[in-house]
């Protein structure tokens, strides 16, 4: 069953666009569909990711959380 998630990220100041590009590349390698937005407000980056199953989402979000410069994430999971 397809799954969607929204990942809200806080990152180190000045790293927003660099990390956004890293997330786009990671999505291609992971085989998930991701839309990545640098935003203003409480969070710095919002990622909408769609995958075939929760396991793919889990692996992708875990990768994002390990990127240098990512300080905090919040993940909201939904059915696609």
Answer yes or no: is pLDDT of 64 > 70.
Answer: yes
Report all structural domains of the chain as residue ranges with CATH numbers, in order of start: 3-79 (3.30.70.920)
Confidence of residue 79 (pLDDT cuts 50, 70, 90): confident
Question: Per-residue pLDDT averaged across 41-66, rounded?
Answer: 96
The whole-number pLDDT of residue 1 equals 78
Q: What is the pLDDT of residues 3-52, one digit of tens each?
A: 999 999 999 999 999 999 999 999 999 999 999 999 999 999 999 999 99
Q: Would you state the structure tokens that stand for residue 68, as one six-digit string?
A: 């240098």
The whole-number pLDDT of residue 80 equals 65
Type and span of the H or E element at 3: strand 3-11
Alpha carbon distance 61, 55 (integer Å)? 10
Q: pTM score, two decimals?
A: 0.93
């Amino acid at each position: 069953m397809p799954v969607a998630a929204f990942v809200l990220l806080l990152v180190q100041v000045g790293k927003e666009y660099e990390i956004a590009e890293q997330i786009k590349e990671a999505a291609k390698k992971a085989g998930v569909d991701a839309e990545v937005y640098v935003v203003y407000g409480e969070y710095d980056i919002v990622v909408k990711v769609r995958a075939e199953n929760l396991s793919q989402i889990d692996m992708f979000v875990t990768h994002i959380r390990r990127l240098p410069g990512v300080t905090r994430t919040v993940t909201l999971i939904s059915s696609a």
